[in-house]
Structure 1
Amino acid sequence: MNNALLKRNSGVELLRILSMFLIVLAHITQTASDLPSVPIDVATASHQLSHFMLSMFYMFGAWGNTIFFIISAWFLLESKEVKVKKLIYLILEVWVLSVLILGCLLPFFNRPPLPIIIKCFFPTLFANNWFVTCYILFYPTHTILNSIIHRIPKRKLLQISFVMFFLYVFCNTFGHKLFFPSMLIFWIAIYFTMGYIKLYLPNLSNNSKINICIFLVAIFSLVALTCVTNILGLKFSILHNQVLYWGSNYSFFWVISAIALLNLFRNFEFRSKFVNKIASYMLLVYLIHENLLFRRYLRPLWLDEIYQIYQGLNILVIIFLFALFVFISSLMLAVVFDNYFKNILDKLTAKIYNVVKRFYQLGESYILLLK
């Protein structure tokens, strides 16, 4: 385990940690924006700089999600098989964590709604954490995508990458919901693009100056467009609530900047067991801080109490510090959960895998005999 941790490039793992903090910060901002006591709607235009900054905080979630996926995509491009045990373990981990939190918090709730309880028992089915559900759907397809990426000619891969990137990333930045998009299709479009970059653009990927320029241009463009939308929103009602338009999950600017960041952090190569160990808990941090019960009940309650007590503080400071607290607390809970439940989950995974494998082989044998 220690050797495996040391083999990873800690620069990339550091970026993974950063991306998760961006996600946490965005989720806390979303919670604050929904509170009646906080007089801020991040989607609307405003003269206040702090309001604009909160809008940026809100959009950081899409950026963090994109960075997190692109890091995974970079490593999955080297994979030659679907690790079924990994998939089973992830589904089990999500379920155990969801039910465990439900069991711990249920005594403190006065008749929680039945739909909420049902969703806690089926977290993957109901996509309580959409990113994880989407990843579970994407992961089994990655070896098929790899076969296509590695076998087709360079020109053909460029054509596929360009068309998919243009339709589902670029076009959906300017016109949301074009060409029947979904996060799964969006990820596949990014995956083909990452495949082309990894196979055929090594010089560009490793050129820090170019990647810094790409990153700065992408971020400046997004901020500039958001500023212009905010200014126009103060004058035209049709744009008044469109401040978040350019920072959606499908944003071209987030994708380009995320790819540039990955290249920069890959080149910032060092080895740290501590950094890599912390990074290994990031998915658990995501599952814990964005647990259905936490985000619907506890997080709004705590944030509202804090805001009422410290109203004299700038709302930006309150949200940032609370996000830091939630991130660290979730990390600590992730460490505890991993230490107590990893061995149990490993054993359950092995047993379920054997059962699934047996049934699959029986089904496969029967189907192959059909004429």
Structure 2
Amino acid sequence: MQRSDKSKVRDSNFELLRIISMFMIVILHIGTHGMGKYINISNFLTGFNEVFYYFIRSLSIIAVSLYVLVSGYFLTKSKFKLKKLVSLFMEVSFFSTVIYLVNVLVGNVDFNVVMFFKSLFSVFTGGYWFVTVYFVMYALSPFMNKLIDHMDKKEHGNLIITGLLVCNIWQFIYPHALVGVSNGYGLVYFLFLYILAAYIQKYEFLIKDFNRNLYLFMYFFVAFINSLLIYRTGLMDQLYSYNSPLVLIMAYCLFQYFKKLKIKSPNINFASKFVFGIYLIHEQSSMRPVIWKKFGIIEDIISTDGNLIIFKMIGYCVIVFISCWIVSFVIGTIYNALYKKVSTYMLTFLKS
């Protein structure tokens, strides 16, 4: 998940997109692990609030796809480094284990040897589903790049069409676990997004390019259509699938919008450096119920006046986002210092 200093300076637009995507993830989780877990949204919210809720989630449901597209966009032109794969494992393990042990120390959970080792090896045990799938995708990236490099534009386009038909049509309408798309949670879909990102890297756009503001308009318009469809049909689970055709269109449009932005900001790059930790903190298995239940966030939201309930939900998302970023900065700084010392020691040991 780490980027070189050169890319950070050059691509502040994508670093901003990572930050926004992480905030989208927090919004999704306050719905999935918070409100959606304790109340029936369609019964609790009515009229404008219900549509507004669906609209906010529709805007945010593209977060995972955006992360994969951004990663694929750069990985397709970068050299695979085993050190980065090991570093990802160590960073995730450090964050997960520290958060777990802190929760044990403050009495939120009882110490359990099995849970401790699951935290320590969370990349392999699936403690963070996204990291597990991303880890495998990164391991396969050098082989994917060789495949992509040996395809011409027509072959690459035909592969994308095949992926669309399989992942976003067939597996959206009639999903089957054997195919491995898993509503967009599976490795197959990540690899498809990787191939799509590589196509954008090489050829800029699919079929036809548009003005960046038109891309932004299409993103909001399709999100509005998606929210209305959910409101009218009640097909929330299906239309919020990561491999939904509408979700893919929204992700593509917002990605293209940010690709066309020209931003150079050391502040954005600095903030982005610790944004991945927000996910590692608030999605840690022992931390999730603490944030959404023990702190009383959901109880406060659902007890709010109907006209303000969605705004309060967004407000809490901002609080969780900023709070977790601060914790990520602290843990990340400690991890970086330790990682640097261990790397220096190992390098000295190997040379001796």
TM-score range, shorter chain: 0.7 to 0.9
2:15 is the alignment partner of 1:21: no
Q: CA deviation at 1:69?
A: 1.2
1:114-156 CA-partner distances (Å, limit 9, x unpaired): 6544432331122111111111110011111111111222222
What does residue 33 of structure 1 align with? 35
What does residue 103 of structure 1 align with? 101
User: Higher mean Cα deviation, 223-232 or 263-272?
Assistant: 223-232
User: Higher mean Cα deviation, 292-301 or 123-132?
Assistant: 292-301
Q: CA deviation at 1:11?
A: 1.6
The answer to whether the 8 Å contact 1:212/1:260 transfers is: no
1:207-237 CA-partner distances (Å, limit 9, x unpaired): 542x54455446534532442343244xxxx
Whole-Å separation in 1 of the counterparts to 2:270 and 2:257: 21
Q: CA deviation at 1:42?
A: 3.4
Whole-Å separation in 2 of the counterparts to 1:113 and 1:59: 38
Aligned length: 342
What does residue 253 of structure 1 align with? 246
Q: CA deviation at 1:257?
A: 2.0
State the SS of the aligned residue for 1:124.
helix
What does residue 52 of structure 1 align with? 51
2:211 is the alignment partner of 1:223: no
2:90 is the alignment partner of 1:92: yes
Q: CA deviation at 1:299?
A: 2.5
Q: CA deviation at 1:112?
A: 5.9
Q: Provide closer, same or farther for how the CA distance between residues 142 and 350 of structure 1 changes in structure 2, counting only shifts above 3 A.
A: farther
Whole-Å separation in 1 of the counterparts to 2:46 and 2:301: 24
What does residue 319 of structure 1 align with? 313
Q: CA deviation at 1:264?
A: 1.6
One-letter amino acid of the counterpart of residue 229, structure 2: V
One-letter amino acid of the counterpart of residue 195, structure 1: A
One-letter amino acid of the counterpart of residue 225, structure 2: A
1:308-353 CA-partner distances (Å, limit 9, x unpaired): 7963472212211111001001111111112222021234457789
Q: Provide closer, same or farther for how the CA distance between residues 203 and 323 of structure 1 changes in structure 2, counting only shifts above 3 A.
A: closer
What does residue 340 of structure 1 align with? 334
The answer to whether the 8 Å contact 1:88/1:353 transfers is: no
Q: Provide closer, same or farther for how the CA distance between residues 58 and 352 of structure 1 changes in structure 2, counting only shifts above 3 A.
A: farther
One-letter amino acid of the counterpart of residue 335, structure 1: F
State the SS of the aligned residue for 1:292.
coil
Q: Provide closer, same or farther for how the CA distance between residues 169 and 231 of structure 1 changes in structure 2, counting only shifts above 3 A.
A: closer
Whole-Å separation in 1 of the counterparts to 2:344 and 2:132: 21
The answer to whether the 8 Å contact 1:247/1:254 transfers is: yes
After TM superposition, the structure 1 = structure 2 runs for residues 260-279 of structure 1, keeping only pairs within 5 Å, are 260-279=253-272
Unaligned stretches of 5+ residues in structure 1: 234-241, 358-371
Q: CA deviation at 1:268?
A: 1.2
What does residue 367 of structure 1 align with? none
The answer to whether the 8 Å contact 2:15/2:268 transfers is: yes
What does residue 126 of structure 2 align with? 127
One-letter amino acid of the counterpart of residue 252, structure 1: P
What does residue 13 of structure 2 align with? 11
Q: CA deviation at 1:82?
A: 1.7
Q: Provide closer, same or farther for how the CA distance between residues 309 and 253 of structure 1 changes in structure 2, counting only shifts above 3 A.
A: closer
What does residue 81 of structure 2 align with? 83
State the SS of the aligned residue for 1:125.
helix
Q: Provide closer, same or farther for how the CA distance between residues 304 and 214 of structure 1 changes in structure 2, counting only shifts above 3 A.
A: closer
Unaligned stretches of 5+ residues in structure 2: none
Whole-Å separation in 2 of the counterparts to 1:92 and 1:110: 23
2:98 is the alignment partner of 1:72: no
Whole-Å separation in 1 of the counterparts to 2:193 and 2:77: 16
The answer to whether the 8 Å contact 1:43/1:244 transfers is: no
Whole-Å separation in 1 of the counterparts to 2:239 and 2:264: 36
One-letter amino acid of the counterpart of residue 89, structure 2: I
RMSD, aligned CA: 3.2
Whole-Å separation in 1 of the counterparts to 2:206 and 2:156: 18
After TM superposition, the structure 1 = structure 2 runs for residues 207-222 of structure 1, keeping only pairs within 5 Å, are 207-209=209-211, 212-214=213-215, 216-217=217-218, 219-222=220-223
Whole-Å separation in 1 of the counterparts to 2:4 and 2:73: 22
The higher radius of gyration belongs to 1
State the SS of the aligned residue for 2:30.
helix
The answer to whether the 8 Å contact 1:63/1:254 transfers is: yes
